Amino acid sequence: MKSKHLLVALSLLVVIAMLVGCAQQATPAPGGQQQGAKPYIPVISKGFQHQFWQAVKQGAEQAAKDYNVDITFEGPETEAQVDKQIEMLQAALAKNPAAICFAALDSKAAIPLLEQAKAKNIPVVGFDSGVDSDIPIATAATDNVAAAAYAADKMAELIGGSGKVAVLVHDQTSRTGIDRRDGFVNRIKEKYPNIEIVSVEYGGGDHLKSTEIAKAVIQANPDLKGYFGANEGSIIGVLNAVKELGMEGKLVVIGYDAGKQQKEAVRSGVEAGAITQNPIGIGYKCVEAAVKAIRGESVPKVIDTGFYWYDKTNMDDPKIAPLLYD
């Protein structure tokens, strides 16, 4: 009786394993070194649930199709999971890839594995925040300092050159967090002496946490004129706060990236506008650079994937609209 149950359970386990195996057959088995097989390029990002990463994935998949290579795309659940990302990199290396695309959560922690890749002559292409080392042959990324500085110019223009503004950033440790914060804050300090930054806070990109922070800051500064959110999670928090406090239209809200909620806010005018990166371009360019490296072609060390300012007047522009992921 007992053993029968156990047998049933064990066979269930096998069935699950089989199902996974079958699902796998839909996508060709990876194999950079197998003869006749397409080159295999693992893309290891800093996340995968966020819409931004899904757009990067979309670009990477497009490039894989155009250049006839196989890719896989993965990233840890949160941007704090440095060790999980290292394990992904390790598993990717075990598959003998033709090249690796990598956006490091913590460059220093990843160096030993990247050196392994270098020793095996596997080219590494950085993307987004890239890798802080000489190992990557190229990095496809947004110039976040320049983009955030542009957001500061827009903020100054829209609030009339003086008053109090606040900044909400996703975190103080990642490259993008630091660059966007410094890009915005330094531009205000250098160019706009009449604007005061009353708060720079960090919400971890978490919608709820960011909402609570933004609410507290707005309530503590009744004369606040503008709010800059440095990534999608942060700006959603600011927008929630504005809505919950009934401040629509009373604050100049400037955001970063896209996403359905943010796009609706821009369209309705609650958000003045936002900086968009080119996530599809980032994904596309990094895989493209990896392919070129495999073929032995030269690749520029820095691939600037560009940024755009969008507001309700130009968000349907054919040049902008495809970049604004939902």
Binding region for another protein (CB under 8 A) = 1-2, 5-6, 9-10, 12-14, 16-17, 20-21, 23-24, 27, 29-31, 48, 72, 74-75, 77-83, 86-88, 90-96, 106, 108-109, 112, 171-173, 202, 204
Shorter beta-carbon distance to another protein: residue 94 or 222: 94
Shorter beta-carbon distance to another protein: residue 19 or 321: 19
User: At closest approach, how far in Å is the CB of 95 from another protein?
Assistant: 4
Shorter beta-carbon distance to another protein: residue 97 or 126: 97
Contact 177, 168 (CB under 8 A): no
User: At closest approach, how far in Å is the CB of 276 from another protein?
Assistant: 25
Q: Residues near 216 by Cβ (< 8 Å), separated by ≥ 6? A: none
Helix 51-67 and helix 279-294: axis angle, to 10°? 40
What does the alpha-carbon distance between residue 100 and residue 112 come to, in Å, rounded to a whole number? 15
Give the closest residue to 107 by CA, choosing from 123, 91, 128.
Answer: 128
Shorter beta-carbon distance to another protein: residue 62 or 96: 96
Shorter beta-carbon distance to another protein: residue 94 or 297: 94
User: At closest approach, how far in Å is the CB of 150 from another protein?
Assistant: 25
User: At closest approach, how far in Å is the CB of 12 from another protein?
Assistant: 6
User: At closest approach, how far in Å is the CB of 173 from another protein?
Assistant: 5
User: At closest approach, how far in Å is the CB of 282 from another protein?
Assistant: 19
Residue with tokens 């650079």: 289
Shorter beta-carbon distance to another protein: residue 177 or 237: 177
Contact 325, 51 (CB under 8 A): yes
Shorter beta-carbon distance to another protein: residue 82 or 146: 82
User: At closest approach, how far in Å is the CB of 38 from another protein?
Assistant: 13
